[in-house]
Amino acid sequence: MDTTTALRDIRRVFIANRGEIALRVIQACHRLGIEAVLGVSEADQHTVPAEAADQTVLLGPSPAPESYLQAAKIVNAALQTRCDAVHPGYGFLSERAHFVRACEEAGLAFIGPSAEAIEMMGDKISAVAIAEKAGVPRIPGTGALTDVGQARKAAAEIGYPVLIKASAGGGGRGMRVARDPADLEKQMVSAASEAQAAFGDPAIYLEKFVERARHVEIQVLADEFGHVIHLGERECSTQRRHQKLIEEAPSPAIDAETRAAMGEAAVNLARRAGYVGAGTVEFVVDADDSRKFCFLEMNTRIQVEHPITEMITGIDLVAEQIRIASGLPLSVTQDDIALTGHAIECRINAEDPDKQFMPRPGIITRWDAPSGEGIRFDTHCKAGAEIPPYYDSLLGKLIVHAADRPTAIARMREALGRFVVEGIPTTAPFHTRVLAHDDFAAGQVTTRWVEDVFLPEEKAAKRARGEAEKAAAAAVAE
């Protein structure tokens, strides 16, 4: 184990992001006595994060390709404002190896993993190969596929249904399910085309499609001294079209023995990859036997849902990121990690759940956020704020912590009930309905539950209400 590393004096951090994660990083910097400089687009010049930063720099026009995705502009802005390091947040350039190299070549510390680690784990085929070498179980699958004939042979061996996945994919893009040989070629072409358009890489591979799956992830931290630890798991199965909606920690389906095994697997993978920084190892868990888990992918950045891990461990993950980037060892060991209570996070988006979750930008005319014991709201919003159409629709994350899961669910339902937003629709009412469902209370949600059970039930109930109203109106008229 290497016991020497160069210390980097980080006194001023450039934040290459926006919204709630930008504000979260600013707050962490200030708690550490570090100045925060924020890069902003034209649409974000007068936001809450811009007001909280010690200095702002205009990166360019509102569209992300002209501002937040301009690596050269960000590096130049960081240098001009005499910053020592760059924090990428999540999304945008956070998992782009070329951005890491640009920062390092300019003498800026990148608050995240190395470019090599990002490339290694960002390519899903490469990541699966590393997982296998680390002894981490994987879903039966293939390497990169070159033609349909090869895919047909592999699918027959794996067994249908199969999941076609883009090697460079993310967020559900470049993923298709083929349930029989006749459907395979069509779905392969569709997945490769979407992958090429979204990531510039059409490479695809196959995995066995798990019909009843849970999505469970392990948070890891690793420093330059070879210390690697995990901070327990997060349950992320409440999702729609591969987009997470509600997360909780710990998982209601994982026992202590399985948690230890998953944590060990995640640590072994991070160590095998030579990983340094905060990262998340994601697993598919069999909903019918939660002791069976398989590697899914690794995210080489801070996650949207990191607050629930902070709530049950008391560890400031962003502060640890900055410590690691400074060349310091982790402030905690594996023996220091204890999971206390239960935490739930609801992602509040500016979307209309009654209209296929269509994004609805606009101006917030009223914003009354809940607060109190065990309640945390990570948000960049306030009354009068304009939600622009150029970016992700996330308004914030409502997080609760309680002694146990039933109490946490009750606390979240109560907090959502006190949350008032006017001017734009949000997903808050949707979350309230999900939390009231018996399946959620029983911890029986799978990754397909929202689409296959909850939304169809809501649609049927809405249809029944409409028919009852029509019948009542007809009776009155008669």
Active site residues: 301
Residues 6+ apart with CB under 8 A from 111: 13, 85, 86, 87, 88, 277, 321, 322, 324, 325
Handedness of CA 92, 446, 294, 206 (dihedral sign): negative
Query: Which phi and psi (to 5°) does residue 173 adopt?
Result: -80, 145
Q: Are 236 and 299 in contact (CB under 8 A)?
A: no
Structure token pair of residue 36: 């925060």
Exposed/middle/buried for residue 256 (C-beta within 10 Å: 0-12, 13-18, 19+): exposed
DSSP at 330: P
CA distance 88 to 277: 13
Beta-strand runs (E) in 266-422: 277-286, 293-299, 342-349, 351-352, 358-359, 362-363, 366-368, 375-379, 386-387, 394-402, 420-422
Query: Which phi and psi (to 5°) does residue 280 adopt?
Result: -130, 125
> How many residues are given for the chain?
478
Convert 361-375 into a string of H (helix), E (strand) and C (coil). CEECCEEECCCCCCE
Across the chain, which distance is largest between two alpha carbons, in Å? 87
Read out DSSP for 7-26? -----EEEE---HHHHHHHH
Q: Which residue has the tokens 């559900």?
A: 172
| Percent of residues in the chain assigned helix, strand, coil, to nearest 5 | 40, 25, 35
- Distance set, CA 467 to CA 316, 470, 474 (Å): 52, 5, 10
CA distance 167 to 143: 9
Q: Are 273 and 342 in contact (CB under 8 A)?
A: no
Q: Beta strand 85-87 with 109-110: parallel, antiparallel or unpaired? A: parallel
Structure token pair of residue 178: 């083929």
Query: Which phi and psi (to 5°) does residue 159 adopt?
Result: 100, 130
